[in-house]
Structure 1
Amino acid sequence: MGSWSVRKLVLAGILAALVFVVTAFTKIPSPFARAAYYHAGDSIIYLSGLVLGPHMAAVVSGLGSFLSDLYLGYPLYMFATFVIKGIMGGIAGYFLYVPQGRVSWRRKLLGVALAGLWMAVGYYVFEVYIVRIVDWRANIPNFFANIGQALVGALIFLPLSKPLERLKDIL
């Protein structure tokens, strides 16, 4: 059945649920930016990219994050989150997924850095140009809060990535 095996689909469902649960239940409000919060959900997005590849990680990341916004009461962000976090998972998967073999630390660092930067830029553009909540200068603290959010996910993911990379072997 190739890349869409039953095991891979089951793992994708589990990871989408984990993105939702870890995002929704590790929410810590940011003291620096209005309505921003930190959570560990991005670490699961990076993990999804590592074990599933870019396409499935995009779906897992977008869906789990969409559901967490719905649950946490951020309906304004749900569809933007689906796209932004979905692309974030795709970027992570592009750099972190190596079907046969292991990923170098350079690729891991580059993958989480670019995925996190995309997430921060994506939310910044959404908030300033689409929602028009604040002007571009007033939204800079939210941009850096999102960079901090990506760093939280990376700091959780990177030490765990080596043993968790073995999940690919069962697929």
Structure 2
Amino acid sequence: MRENEKLHQLVMAAIFAAAIAVTTAYILHIPLPTGGYVHLGDALIYLAACLLPAPWAMAAGAVGAGLADLLTAPMWVLPTLIVKALVCLPFTSKSQRVLCGRNIAAIFISGLLSPALYGVANVIFTGTAAAFLPQFLGTLVQAVGSGLVFAVLAYGVDRVGLKKRMLAV
């Protein structure tokens, strides 16, 4: 990998991390009565996972969402670092298009993986299995919203050929 390409990927990951942090913490940040909050940051995590190689996308998702939690819900930083890195894995950046079959399937996989992992984290935090379902359902609402927003963003990115232009070094 050329030095220029490494720097380009680092900068793109940093831009995504910043956008994820701001989107998660402040833009359409809606607290839930069950705890936690609904946000659209996962849509940008999914997009990063489709545009950047996995290690860079995982770092952008973990750092961006981790910073958002540090600002809004500090007890969730550690689970978030793990969960948001893992939700990148079902996506691929190797396809010519963002909205390809694998990435459409990945919306559903990540949309269930994130709520399940946060549910488990909530069980660990509270020490009771009853804490799983409220956390799972709240996070599932957020994941569905983010999946829909991602699909719209991905369609737009594909329509204007942004992936090809954005990743050109």
TM over 0.5: yes
Q: CA RMSD in A?
A: 2.0
C-alpha deviation, 1:137, in angstroms: 2.7
Match of 2:22? 21
What is the match of residue 78 of structure 1?
77
Q: Which shifted more, 160-169 or 147-156?
A: 160-169
Code of the aligned partner of 1:96: T
TM superposition shift of 1:51: 0.4
Question: One-letter code of the match for 2:34?
Answer: R
Instruction: Return the offset for 1:103.
Output: 4.7
Kindly indicate whether residue 92 of structure 2 is the aligned counterpart of residue 96 of structure 1.
yes
Equivalent of 2:116, from 113, 121, 135?
Answer: 121
Displacement of 1:105 in angstroms is: 4.2
How far the C-alpha of 1:20 sits from its partner, in A, is 0.1
Structure 1: stretches of 5+ with no match in the other structure: none
> 1:78, 1:136 → 2: CA distance?
21
How many pairs were matched up? Answer: 162
Query: Identity of paired residues, percent?
Result: 30
Deviating 4+ runs (over 6 angstroms): none
**Structure 2: gaps of 5 or more residues:** none
1:147 maps to 2:140: yes
Return closer, same or farther for 1:2/1:163 CA change in 2, 3 Å cut-off.
Answer: farther
Give 3-state SS (helix, strand or coil) of 1:139's partner. helix
The alpha-carbon deviation at position 134 of structure 1 amounts to 5.5
- Contact 2:98–2:154 (8 Å) recurs in 1: no
Tell me the distance in 2 between the aligned counterparts of 1:7 and 1:163: 22
Partner in structure 2 of residue 55 of structure 1: 55
Aligned partner of 1:111 in structure 2 is 106
* TM-score normalised by L of structure 2: 0.86
Per-residue CA distance 1:92-124 (angstroms, 9 max, x = gap): 4xx33225x225543222111111211111111
Distance 2:54 2:47 in 1: 11
